[in-house]
Amino acid sequence: MMTQLQAQDCVNCTPPVYDPAPEWPIEYITVKKVDYPRNEKASFCQRPPEIVDTIVLHHTETPSTKNALYINDLHLNRGTAADPWYMVAYSYLVNAPYPKESVPQSLVSEGRPIDIVGAHAGSNAFVTMDEEQTKAYADGKITCGKEGSVFKVDPTIVRGNTIKANVTTIGLVVIGNYAPVSRQNPGGYSPRNPRYPTKETQDMIARLSCQLQKKYPRMKNIRWHSNYNSTDCPGSIKNYVGQIVARAEELGCKFN
């Protein structure tokens, strides 16, 4: 690691260069950082990323040509004036290639930082806490507040030995509409032309999931939105979780 140069050492030199610790122990896929506008008046919760044990798959239900900033913009409009959303609800957004319909190249964008609780599984969904998650909550490590305020423990995020599913999961969303057309989803695919996650899409999800597990070894489960709520999300993607898990195994990761 390079050390910081002292001011008196620096004559006509460029600013000091730091060698930061690598963000990912193993990089299976490049994750793009996005500078999102946020709503500083919104409340949100923080958590130690180490308590996250589950990746929850979603689809945005938008056209696949949209990008992470567009989803952030929509999510900044969600909620109410008194209780608005903080920023994009998912932790990772995947622009997956799809014939004739997608952005030119595949792209993974970071969404809500992993130490900030997401808003994706459903605020009414609770899951049983394991020992470490129970301890993190009891130790006051999961706290809520607004930017610039004191963060406090919020007792409403737990019920007995369960906790809001959003606290112990991250949302991984594929940008696109993978459910069939219906009255609830007029932009869905035609039954004559079903849409499914391509091999490349499956590979992108597997690489990202594996990369996350290498950094956070407790992240051992892959689930999908309809495991937590009555919804069509993530459409046909849920039928390919077996293939995604198998691909992740080829990369050296084990998911339940």
Cis peptide before 186 (omega within 30 of 0): no
Task: Please report how close the Cβ of residue 76 comes to other proteins at its closest, in angstroms.
Answer: 5
Closer Cβ to other proteins, 85 or 126, answer by number: 85
β-pair partners for 164: 126
Closer Cβ to other proteins, 99 or 186, answer by number: 186
Closer Cβ to other proteins, 125 or 153, answer by number: 125
C-alpha atoms less than 13 angstroms from C-alpha of 141 in its C-beta half-sphere: 17
CA distance 139 to 150: 16
Closer Cβ to other proteins, 43 or 65, answer by number: 65
Please state, as a whole number, how many other Cβ atoms lie within 10 Å of the Cβ of residue 100.
5
Report CA-CA distances (Å) from 159 to 135, 163, 164. 15, 6, 8
- Give the helix/strand (H/E) hosting 110: strand 107-110
Task: Please report how close the Cβ of residue 212 comes to other proteins at its closest, in angstroms.
Answer: 19
Cis peptide before 63 (omega within 30 of 0): no
Task: Please report how close the Cβ of residue 196 comes to other proteins at its closest, in angstroms.
Answer: 17
β-pair partners for 109: 32, 93
CA distance 65 to 96: 9
Report CA-CA distances (Å) from 136 to 60, 96, 109, 165, 194. 31, 35, 28, 15, 43
Closer Cβ to other proteins, 134 or 231, answer by number: 231
Task: Please report how close the Cβ of residue 228 comes to other proteins at its closest, in angstroms.
Answer: 10
Closer Cβ to other proteins, 43 or 62, answer by number: 62
Task: Please report how close the Cβ of residue 184 comes to other proteins at its closest, in angstroms.
Answer: 5
Cβ proximity of 41 and 226 under 8 Å: no
Closer Cβ to other proteins, 40 or 249, answer by number: 40
Task: Please report how close the Cβ of residue 132 comes to other proteins at its closest, in angstroms.
Answer: 25
CA distance 77 to 81: 9
Task: Please report how close the Cβ of residue 177 comes to other proteins at its closest, in angstroms.
Answer: 8
Q: Which residues bind other proteins (CB under 8 A)?
A: 39, 58-63, 65, 73-74, 76-81, 84-85, 89-90, 118-123, 171, 173, 181-187, 190-191, 225, 229-234
